[in-house]
Amino acid sequence: MTKIFETPLYAYKRSKDQGAGAPIRHKVVIIGAGPVGLAMGIDLAQEGIETVIIDDNDKVSFGSRAICFAKRPLEILDRLGCGQPMVDKGVEWDVGKVFFDDREVYKFDLLPEEGHQRPAFVNLQQYYFEEYLVNRVRELEAAGAPIEIRGGNKVTAIGTHDDHVTLEIDTQEGSYNLEAEWLIPCDGAGSPTRKMLGLDFVGRVFEDNFLIADVIMEADFPTERWFWFDPPFNKGQSALLHKQPDGVWRIDLQLGWDIDKEEEKKPENVIPRLKAMLGDDVQFELEWVSIYTFQCRRMEAFRHGRVMFAGDAAHQVSPFGARGANSGLQDTDNLAWKLKLVMEGKAPDSLLDSYNAERVHGAEENILNSSRSTDFITPKSEMSRLLRDAVLDLSEHHEFARPLVNSGRLSVPCTYDGSPLNSSDALDGPARTRPGSACPDVPLGDDYLLPKLGGKFTLLTIDADAPDMVEEDGITVARLALSVKDDKSGALKARYMGDATSAVYLIRPDQHVAARRPNYDDNLFRAAIRRATGKE
Amino acid sequence: MTDLILTPNIDGADDFYAELLTAHDGLSKEDSDALNARLVLVLANHIGDRKAISQAIKTAKLGR
C-alpha cells in the first residue's frame, strides 16, 4: 500500500512566472507547505489575499511527526473551513496513566470541560493534518480563491527592500525570480530562510536523544496516554505510548545522549526494544522510525520589515506538551487579520509589530513549559532526579504530588496579557476572558459561540444594549447580541459574566478579547477598536 | 491541631517546582542535601502544628 506521505500532492508544475521578462510581484509568498504554511495560506486566501506557497518538496510530512492537536488549533481550523475532517479522523482521548519503575502510580482523566464544540485534543498523524489542509487549498482554488502551491520550488536567495522582497527560486527547469510584497517563512526549525537572512536562533540545547517508532498493531491497549518514568524495559529513561488513527501507535523511547543514531534506528535494534516494552506475543509492524534531539529556542524578533516568521522557523520547543504545530497555528491566526488590515490600508504598519509582541510572548510561555517538562522527564542533576523520584513516589498514594508530575503540560492558548492591543479590563468578570484571552467556546442551543464569532471584529453583548454596527476609521464591527438565557448550561454566564449582570466584549478577528465593559460606551469602544488595530 | 493536607494546596505547582530546582542550581550534592535539610526545618517551623509534622514525617517515609 502506498502511504499518503509517499504520494506527491503538489508535484512540480511550470508556473507562468518562469520565463516572464521581469519578476512577477505577488501579494504574499509563504515558504514551506507544512501545517503552518498551509494554514497561513488558507487564512489569507479566504480573505481574498493573493498567496503563493512555495515548497522544495512535493509531499506531505514523512512519518507521523506532530500527532497531538489541541482544541484551540481545531477551532482555528474551523474558521479555515477544515476542522471537521481532522476531528472525524482523529482519535480523542481523556485518560492518561503514569508509570514509575515497574508500577502504575496513578491514572488521570482530563475531564474535559463541557460545552465546547471541539475536544481538548485529538491525535492525528501530521501527514493527515497536512493532507486535509492541502484538500482545503484545492477546494479554495476550485472556488476561484487566489492561492497556489508550488512544489519542487526551492528558494536559494532572498533580497529585502523597503516595500518588497525578492526571491530567487530553483526548479528542475532552472531558476527564476519573483517578488513578494510580504514574505512569511514557515520553513521549520532548520529554516533556510532564517539562515539566508543571517538571523539569530538562540536557546537551550538538551543533550538527549529520543527514538520515535510508529507501529501498526492489533492490540488491546486502550485509547489512553501512557507515560513511563524509569521503566524496567528502558532503565533510567522514559517512554510514551499514544494511539493514533488506523491502529498506529506512537512509541517514544528516551535513549540518552551518548548513542550511535544510525545503529539505534536499525529495525534489528528497534524491534527488541519494542518487544521488551509491549511483550513478546504482541504482533506489530514498524511504520516509521526516527531519532530526534531537540532544543528550546526562538528568534529574538519574528518580524523583520516585510518578512514575518511563523511556526518552528520562529520558535522551537521540546515535543512534551504538543506545543510545536499547535503554537504555529496560533501564529498564523494572529498574523492573518493584521496583515490583511495593513494591506488594505485600514491599519498602520505598526499593527504588525504586535504580531511580534504577542507571539514572542506565546513562544516564551511555550518554551518555559516545555523546558520544565523536559527537566522533569530528564533530570539534569542528581538532586533534580531525587526530587523528581520523590514526587513520583508520593504521587502513588497522595493526590497532592500529582500536579507536580510533569510529563508535558499540554498546549493551551496563550493569553496576551500586556498586549498593546488590549484595553484595560473594565468588567468584574471571569479572569479567563480578560482582555488578551482566546474566547472559550459556549454552547448556544444547537450551535456554539465560536462559529458565530467567525473571523471578523465582533461586539458581543450579553444582556446589554449596543448599536447593531459600529464603524470606526474603516473597521466595521457587527454586534452579536446574546442573553444568558441563550445557554441553559450556564457556561455563557460562568465564562463571560461571572458576577456581572451585563457585559459587552470587543472581540478580534482571531477570537481574542480586546476589551470588555459592563455596558456599551460609544467613545470607549471606538477607542478600543482603534487600540486593537494599532491606532492608539 | 489540624490534619496534614494531602490534596493539592499550592497554586502554580510548576512555578514552585521550578523555584525549588533553581535553588539547587550549581550546588554540590553535599550542599544540596544541606539546603534540603535547612528547608525542612524552616517549613516545619512554619507549620508549627506537631500533629501535622508527625503525619508529614510518616508520609515521607512512604509507610515504611
Does any domain span residue B2?
A: no
State the pLDDT confidence band at B63, using cuts at 50, 70 and 90.
Answer: low
The amino acid present at A22, given as its one-letter code, is A
CA distances from A88 to A74, A83, B4 (A): 12, 9, 47
H-state helical runs in A178-245:
192-196
Does any domain span residue B43?
A: yes
- Residues of chain A with C-beta less than 8 angstroms from the C-beta of B34: none
Does any domain span residue B52?
A: yes
CB contact under 8 A, A398 and B6: yes
- Residues of chain B with C-beta less than 8 angstroms from the C-beta of A393: 62
Assigned fold of A203-293: D-Amino Acid Oxidase; Chain A, domain 2 (3.30.9)
How far apart, in Å, do the first and last CA atoms of chain B sit? 24
pLDDT of residue A66: 87
H-state helical runs in A224-292:
261-265, 267-278
Q: What is the mean pLDDT of each run of 10 residues along chain A (536 residues)?
A: 76 93 96 97 97 93 86 96 97 92 91 90 94 97 97 97 97 96 96 96 90 88 91 94 92 93 92 90 90 92 98 92 92 98 98 98 94 92 95 95 93 94 97 98 96 96 98 97 96 97 98 98 98 96
- Residues of chain A with C-beta less than 8 angstroms from the C-beta of B3: none
Residue A344 phi, psi (nearest 5): -85, 0
What is the residue range of B52's domain? 13-60
CA distances from A365 to A32, A189, B10, B13 (A): 25, 18, 20, 15
H or E element in which residue A496 lies: helix A491-496
Does any domain span residue B5?
A: no
A399 has a chain B CB within 8 A of its CB: yes
pLDDT of residue A1: 43
CB contact under 8 A, A394 and B62: yes
What residues contact residue A515 under an 8 Å CB cut-off, 6+ apart? Answer: A422, A423, A426, A435, A505, A506, A524, A525, A528, A531, A532
Nearest to A78 by CA among A48, A52, A42, A131: A42
Does any domain span residue B42?
A: yes
Cα–Cα distance, B64 to B62 (Å, whole number): 5
Supply the ipTM of this predicted assembly: 0.94
The answer to whether A110 and A16 are in contact (CB under 8 A) is no
A502 has a chain B CB within 8 A of its CB: no
Question: Which class for A432: exposed (0-12), middle (13-18), buried (19 or more C-beta within 10 A)?
Answer: middle
CA distances from A493 to A113, A195, A299, A442, B49 (A): 15, 49, 40, 9, 42
Among chain A residues, CA nearest to B10: A400
The residue with cell 512544489 is A151
pLDDT of residue B1: 61
What residues contact residue A131 under an 8 Å CB cut-off, 6+ apart? Answer: A4, A9, A60
- Residues of chain B with C-beta less than 8 angstroms from the C-beta of A398: 6, 59
Cα–Cα distance, A43 to A487 (Å, whole number): 30
B61 has a chain A CB within 8 A of its CB: no
Grid coordinates representing A485? Answer: 438565557
CATH code of the domain occupying A431-532: 3.40.30.120
pLDDT of residue A199: 96
Grid coordinates representing A333? Answer: 491566526
The answer to whether A274 and A215 are in contact (CB under 8 A) is yes
A402 has a chain B CB within 8 A of its CB: yes
* Optimal mutation site among A364, A383, A392, interface B, most CBs of chain B within 10 A: A383
Does any domain span residue B4?
A: no
Cα–Cα distance, A376 to A18 (Å, whole number): 52
Q: How many domains does chain B have?
A: 1
Q: What is the domain partition of chain A in residue ranges?
A: 203-293, 431-532
Q: Which residues pair with A203 in a beta bridge?
A: A297
Could you count the other beta carbons within 10 Å of the beta carbon of residue A399?
Answer: 12
The residue with cell 521550578 is B18
CB contact under 8 A, A400 and B18: no
- Among positive and negative, which fits the CA dihedral A528, A76, A476, A518? negative
- Residues of chain B with C-beta less than 8 angstroms from the C-beta of A395: none
pLDDT of residue A146: 97
